[in-house]
Chains A and B, each alone.
Chain A
Amino acid sequence: MPRIACLWVPDLPLCAAVRAEPQLAGAPLAVVQAGDLGGRAHVLCATPIAEGVEPGQTLAEARAICPSLVHRNASPERERAAAQAAVEAAGAVSPRFEEAAPGLVYLDAAGLSKLFGDDRAVARALVAAAERVGLRAAVGVAAGKSLALLAARAAAPDLTFEVTRHGLGGGAFRVVLPEEQAAFLAGLPLLALDLSDELQQILRRFGLQTLGEVSRLPPGPLAARLGPEGAILWRLARGEDATALTPHPAPERFEEGEELEWDAQSIEPLLFLWKALLDRLEQRLRSRGLMARELLLRLRLADASWDERAVDLAAPAREVAPLLQLLRLAVEGRPPESGVTAVRLCAVPVPEVLDQLPLFGPRGASPTQLAAAVGRLSALMGPDRVGQPVAPDRWTPFAAEVARFAPPPPPRAPEAPPPVDLELAARALRPPRTAEVRCDCAGTPLLVIGEGALGGRVVASAGPWRTVAEWWTDAPLAVDSYDLEIAGGLLLRASRELSSGSWWIEAIYD
């Protein structure tokens, strides 16, 4: 027996507004759609606190009815993010889900009993998952998609208006068991279905008011009079739902967006905005057990163009503070050319890596902790200054680069460390320090005049060793290298460029 659950978010614009600004939940709030070409704004939906305010009223009418009314313009960015959050809430319960419309998701509830329990527990888990991402959802569970949607609509009157720390709460659910299906359908009015106006009028002329009355009619004559729509309606009235679930792949990106009512010219208002967006992204990623591998920032500028930039993360992370710092660094380093009117943040997810803590040994760094630490260090000093050290695959003395830090898993049985040879190491000077070197007639260095302690009489030297690099290019690099001991004990690696004769100190032996 197939079981389909339907997650429906009624009043999606209102949920999106409260989700973005939770402090509005206690106020009489209405979301309005601004009219085209300076036309009147109309109310789309309103909170129950705004008594008397109904959808379709103009803003002036609504204000006359409720003087303390707070209104927000409908924001496509917010609604898009809220609809995505609804999809992710469904994905947190079942891997097979289908988004039929913004704020309307079907999912396969068969086989979830081992995870959650019976259908009621699955519905309860869906309501809770929606609340975790700041949405108030009506959930229906039945044998098919259409029936599940009818069940969700039947649950809508039970919705309450509760404020949670994530946004709106107070979801409700209705479960239609197979043995209750006939009774449930028999009492449903035909207005509960999305029928065309023409079909509604025909059925009204026939004197039909409920699905139960339709189910008692003979199917052949009904189809003959009403066409294919009549046959579908008759089957639905009898609980025969033939529409199949078409699961969609999981979203590859998690997006949150916000529009500004004015052009942000400085970083401070953007920081407030990013903090709220990152908070919501973090909730969504956490609810799915994911982390952000990469962060994409899109800024809509005052001239309606988009400024896109990718914030490279040294390791997967979802902690808000370091991500916020990284965003700040990314924008401060290259400010947008004009004011910002909208912001869109997109996280490319990767699965969270969990490891088994040791029973008896000392607790090491978990992948999550490592990722957070790398993120914090990147935010502190810049992402290009943190990572795994690697030697570049080219000839450059003492060159080093950083790569993404991805340590291998720890060994199963830690062994005693093998012996390590203590060798004189070179401390690279980046960039190499220029110096003036006096030599004798044979070319042996005698005196180094360098900055700070990097100077003095040469007491011992070895070299030169000639190296010619990049000889295949138009500007080959040819240098003579020397090991020098300065009076006072400093051991240096110095080089002289043959073409210009300039000297520089590349490293100190220590």
Chain B
Amino acid sequence: MHLNQCLARSIRVTLPARRLEGDPRALEDLLRTGQVRRAPAVSPGTPRPLSTGVPRLDAALGGGLVRGQLHEIVAPPGAGGTALLRASLGAATRAGELCALIDPADAFDPRPAGIDLRRLLWARPLDPVQALRAAEIALEARFALVALDLAQMGPAPRRPRGMIQVVRFEKRPPSPGASPWTRLARRAEKHGGALLVLSRTVQVGTFASATIELERGPSLWDGAPGGPGRLLRGVRAVGAVSRHRRMPPSSPLPLHLPLEAP
């Protein structure tokens, strides 16, 4: 085996290179007897997690959004779920990573600064099935962060128990499948991208490696009610990592979400 091949296979060479060049079978003997071993120093290490843009939340997540895993933000309207999604995209794109935003609600506003839009692919699917397929395609293309915004897509209405379903011979709407999250988790793990899902209620469940829950606090207003100088200044919220595969749930993190003038 040539020395370059040894280096390419991340094997630590403990003998002088001259001896290996002269005797190509020496390394095979050393490999057989276990005198050479894989060097952890040159093997690819664990890739750095992606920041959410909120250092305290990164710490609660054990460094940030882990590549190759699913993460979920569960937040009611006004609690800052979209703000956290934007902050994660902003942190990743400004670090030079390529990101994809799957936005079936067509709700993204590109005007506010903070996201390097050149590194963001914006896809606007027409229905949830297309959204899940689009997320799968983006993960297969090795985008570092794929954000799936399901915040404006309400949960399917539950059918009461004991009700007989009338079967009609008509074209049914496309179904996302039995478990799209299993498929997406496999895609994320295989291709090394992080998938961040924003929803109003828990959607990903146990398929997510971490679930971030946000609670809405009071809104902040300036000026007297009805007065001419009254302004919406922002919102207070509380965030917490409610579930994590390798870490205990975090304590509540108070968040202040100021509002910039649109």
- Chain A interfacial positions (CB closer than 8 Å to B): 360-366, 369-370, 372-374, 376-377, 380-381, 385-391, 397-398, 400, 402, 405-408, 410-411, 414-430, 442, 444, 453, 460-463, 483, 485, 489-491, 493, 507-510
Q: Let me know if B119 and A408 touch, CB within 8 A.
A: yes
Q: Would A369 and B142 be within 8 Å (CB), given that A388-B120, A427-B82 are in contact?
A: yes
Report chain B residues within 8 Å CB of A385. Answer: 123-126
The one of B90, B106, B114, B121 in contact with A405, judged by C-beta atoms closer than 8 angstroms, is B121
Report chain B residues within 8 Å CB of A407. Answer: 98, 118-119
State which residues 85-110 of B face A: CB under 8 Å: 85-87, 90-92, 94-98, 101, 105-110
The one of A362, A415, A428 in contact with B192, judged by C-beta atoms closer than 8 angstroms, is A362
- Chain B interfacial positions (CB closer than 8 Å to A): 42, 44-45, 47, 51, 53-55, 67, 75-87, 90-92, 94-98, 101, 105-112, 114, 117-126, 130, 133-134, 137-138, 140-144, 151-152, 192, 216, 219, 221, 223, 225-226, 230-232, 234-235, 255-260, 262
A400–B103 CA distance with the chains assembled, in angstroms = 13
Q: Would A386 and B123 be within 8 Å (CB), given that A425-B83, A509-B235 are in contact?
A: yes
Report chain A residues within 8 Å CB of B111. Answer: 391, 398
Shortest Cβ distance from residue B37 to the other chain A in the assembled complex, whole angstroms: 19
Report chain B residues within 8 Å CB of A485. Answer: 219, 232
Q: Let me know if B110 and A389 touch, CB within 8 A.
A: yes
Sample of 16 A–B contacts (CB below 8 Å): A381-B134, A388-B117, A390-B110, A400-B108, A410-B98, A420-B87, A420-B94, A423-B86, A423-B112, A424-B235, A426-B112, A427-B82, A460-B232, A507-B262, A508-B77, A510-B77
A-B contact sample (13 more), CB < 8 A, given A374-B121, A430-B107, A491-B219: A373-B138, A388-B122, A417-B91, A417-B94, A418-B91, A420-B87, A421-B114, A424-B260, A425-B82, A425-B86, A426-B262, A428-B109, A462-B232
Q: Would A381 and B123 be within 8 Å (CB), given that A400-B108, A424-B234, A509-B235 are in contact?
A: yes
A462–B224 CA distance with the chains assembled, in angstroms = 10
Q: Let me know if A365 and B91 touch, CB within 8 A.
A: no
Q: Let me know if A410 and B96 touch, CB within 8 A.
A: yes
Q: Would A390 and B117 be within 8 Å (CB), given that A377-B134, A400-B110 are in contact?
A: yes
- Is chain B's interface secondary structure helix, strand, loop, or mixed overall? loop
A376–B130 CA distance with the chains assembled, in angstroms = 12
The one of A362, A365, A387, A460 in contact with B122, judged by C-beta atoms closer than 8 angstroms, is A387
Q: Would A376 and B137 be within 8 Å (CB), given that A423-B257, A425-B109, A444-B226 are in contact?
A: yes
A379–B107 CA distance with the chains assembled, in angstroms = 21
A489–B77 CA distance with the chains assembled, in angstroms = 8
Q: Let me know if B53 and A417 touch, CB within 8 A.
A: yes
Q: Let me know if B117 and A510 touch, CB within 8 A.
A: no
Report chain A residues within 8 Å CB of B55. Answer: 419
The one of A380, A425, A462 in contact with B231, judged by C-beta atoms closer than 8 angstroms, is A462
A389–B120 CA distance with the chains assembled, in angstroms = 7
A424–B140 CA distance with the chains assembled, in angstroms = 31
A421–B114 CA distance with the chains assembled, in angstroms = 8
Report chain A residues within 8 Å CB of B54. Answer: 420, 422
A-B CB proximity, top 4 nearest: A373-B141, A420-B53, A417-B95, A510-B82
- CB-based nearest B residue for A409: B96
Q: Let me know if A414 and B151 touch, CB within 8 A.
A: no
A365–B152 CA distance with the chains assembled, in angstroms = 29
Report chain A residues within 8 Å CB of B81. Answer: 510
Shortest Cβ distance from residue A392 to the other chain B in the assembled complex, whole angstroms: 9
Q: Let me know if A491 and B78 touch, CB within 8 A.
A: yes
A380–B140 CA distance with the chains assembled, in angstroms = 15
Shortest Cβ distance from residue A240 to the other chain B in the assembled complex, whole angstroms: 51
Report chain B residues within 8 Å CB of A421. Answer: 87, 114, 258
Q: Let me know if A442 and B79 touch, CB within 8 A.
A: no
A370–B144 CA distance with the chains assembled, in angstroms = 12
